Amino acid sequence: MTPGYKPTEVGIIPEEWDAKSLGELGTVVRGASPRPAGDPRYFNGDFIPWLTVAALTNIPEHQITVNETVDFLTEEGSKHSRNLGVGTLILANSGATLGVAKLLGVTCCANDGIAAVINQRLGDKLFVCFYINTRTKALREVIAAGNGQPNLNTRLIRQIVIPFPPEPEQRAISAALADVNALLSGLDELITKKHALKQAAMQQLLTGQTRLPGFSNDWNVETIGDKIDLLTGFPFPSSKYVESGVRLLRGSNVKRGKTDWAEGLVQYWPTISADIAAYELEVGDLIIAMDGSLVGRSYARLSQSDLPALLLQRVARIRVRIFHPS
């Protein structure tokens, strides 16, 4: 072994470092969801932000701080949930973002898919957050308990062990990694600006406001329904879902420009029978999620790796009837 290093539960670390469990750093608790779900006494209010696992899927990996939520609870709803303050370390304990850690930039209520370390008395929160996010794959594949839908209970979370250098060194490491995240965020902003320029160019070209050299003929106006085959999904009953088979393409599988078949998001149908064959998807189909916070912005074009798959309700499929190759 290299002099000055020692073996621990988290691997080989410097001798002056320690290893501690999350349970030693503070109190691990789980969020809480008012019941029944959707009750207007609790939900769709304006009293306090409402943080769910689904909301975390829209936050970039390099954005550590949760600054806003889409939904809010009523004051009565907040009394039936878990209230968390700014700076709290949170960890998704179920769903597609299981094992992802963030820090709260807002006071909010969290649902039961979120765990948190409150009353943290040891450790730099940003350092702890960065380390947990290096262990997300292991948390999902090794530590997460349960069948079908994996989850992390508070006992398992308390037992997560992290390397623990002296806190001044923790803060220095956090600052260095935060600088990298700031660079990635800047690149994201640049990409967004370039995307806006592309959208403007598309608007000009696709409406004829700008013409390409060599083209001056008049355009025709036609109905889009004559050019595409539009189909909305079938309400496949969840009682007949199976453990494996043909994947059902749901709104949660559709992201901005791509599909997401993460384990916690996949549901299966036994087979493609004649009565549902119309809902079988094909290579090149354009799919659009029809509900959720990103409705109209969640879309994807299917490739061979997405198939076979069936179209579930609240997702639309567009198939071009006439195609002019370049």
191 within domain boundaries: no
84 has pLDDT over 60: yes
Residues 31 and 160 placed together within one structural domain of the fold: yes
Residues 132 and 255 in one domain: no
Q: Is 33 in a helix, a strand, or coil? A: coil
* E strand spans, the chain: 5-8, 11-14, 18-21, 27-30, 43-51, 65-66, 71-73, 82-84, 89-92, 101-104, 108-110, 114-118, 161-164, 228-232, 246-249, 267-269, 286-289, 299-301, 309-311, 315-320
Q: Last residue of some domain: 174, 199, 214? A: 174
Q: Which of 140, 158, 174 is the last residue of a domain?
A: 174
Separation CA 235–CA 319 (nearest Å): 20
- Tell me what the pLDDT averaged over the chain comes to: 88
Q: How far apart are CA 58 and CA 188, in angstroms?
A: 14
pLDDT, position 326: 44
Provide mean pLDDT across the span 120-133: 94
* Reported confidence tier of residue 22, pLDDT bands at 50, 70, 90: very high
Has residue 151 got a pLDDT over 70? yes
What's the number of domains the chain is made of?
A: 2
- Quick check: is 164 in a domain? yes
- Other CB atoms within a 10 A radius of the CB of residue 179 amount to 10
Question: What is the mean pLDDT of the segment spanning 274-287?
Answer: 94
Q: Rounded to 5 degrees, what angle do the CA atoms 186, 187, 192 make?
A: 95
317 contact partners, CB below 8 Å, separation of at least 6: 230, 231, 232, 233, 281, 285, 286, 287, 311
In a domain? residue 70 = yes
Looking at residue 140, its pLDDT comes to: 79
The pLDDT confidence band at residue 93, using thresholds 50, 70 and 90, is confident
Residue 200 inside a domain? The answer is no
Q: For the chain, give the percent of residues with pLDDT over 90.
A: 52
Q: Does residue 149 register a pLDDT over 70?
A: no
pLDDT in tens, 25-44: 999 999 999 998 888 899 98
Structure tokens at 71: 């939904």
Same domain, 119 and 37: yes
Question: 203 in a domain, yes or no?
Answer: no
Query: Are residues 122 and 29 part of one domain?
Result: yes
First to last CA, the chain: 62
Check residue 309 and give its pLDDT. 96
Q: Is residue 196 part of a domain?
A: no
165, 266: one domain: no
CA distance 252 to 262: 10
- 192 within a domain of the structure (yes/no): no
Question: Do 34 and 161 belong together in one domain?
Answer: yes
Q: How far apart are CA 123 and CA 246, in angstroms?
A: 46
pLDDT tier at 223, thresholds 50, 70, 90: confident
123 lies in the same domain as 255 = no
Q: pLDDT, tens digit, for every residue of 287-319? A: 999 876 566 678 999 999 999 999 999 999 999
Looking at the fold, whether 31 and 158 belong to one and the same domain comes out as: yes
For residue 81, what is the domain's CATH number? Answer: 3.90.220.20
Residue 193 lies in a domain: no
Residue 247: domain span: 224-320
Query: How far is the C-alpha of 58 from the C-alpha of 233, rounded, in Å?
Result: 24
Looking at the structure, tell me whether residues 17 and 154 fall in a common domain: yes
Contact 298, 288 (CB under 8 A): yes
Q: How far is residue 30's CA from residue 27's CA, in Å, rounded to a whole number?
A: 10
pLDDT of residue 325: 47
pLDDT tops 80 at residue 142: no
Question: For 156-162, what is the mean pLDDT?
Answer: 91
pLDDT of residue 145: 53
Instruction: Examine the domain organization and report whether 129 and 13 are in the same domain.
Output: yes
How would residue 323 be classed by pLDDT, with cut points 50, 70 and 90? low
Kindly tell me the sign of the dihedral angle through the C-alpha atoms of 173, 174, 179, 180.
positive
Predicted local confidence at residue 293, as pLDDT:
58
Asked whether residue 250 falls in the same domain as residue 127, the answer is no
10 shares its domain with 156: yes
d(CA 278, CA 111): 38
Task: Check whether 184 has a pLDDT greater than 90.
Answer: no
Q: What is the pTM of this model?
A: 0.61
Whether 203 shows a pLDDT value over 80: the answer reads yes
Q: Residue 240 above 60 pLDDT?
A: yes
Q: Which of 45-49, 135-139, 311-315 has the lowest mean pLDDT?
A: 135-139
**What percentage of the chain reaches a pLDDT higher than 70?**
94
pLDDT, position 296: 67
What is the rounded CA–CA span in Å between residue 125 and residue 66?
A: 14
Contacts for 134 with CB less than 8 Å, ≥ 6 apart: none
Average the pLDDT over each of 116-120, 191-195, 303-307 and give the range with the smallest value: 191-195
3-state secondary structure of 234: strand
Question: CA torsion 56→264→99→140, rounded to 10°?
Answer: -170
> Is it true that the peptide bond before 213 is cis, omega within 30 degrees of 0?
no
Residue where a domain stops, chosen among 105, 139, 174 = 174
Smallest CA-to-CA distance from 58 within 30, 106, 109, 95 is with 95
Tokens coding 267: 């549901």
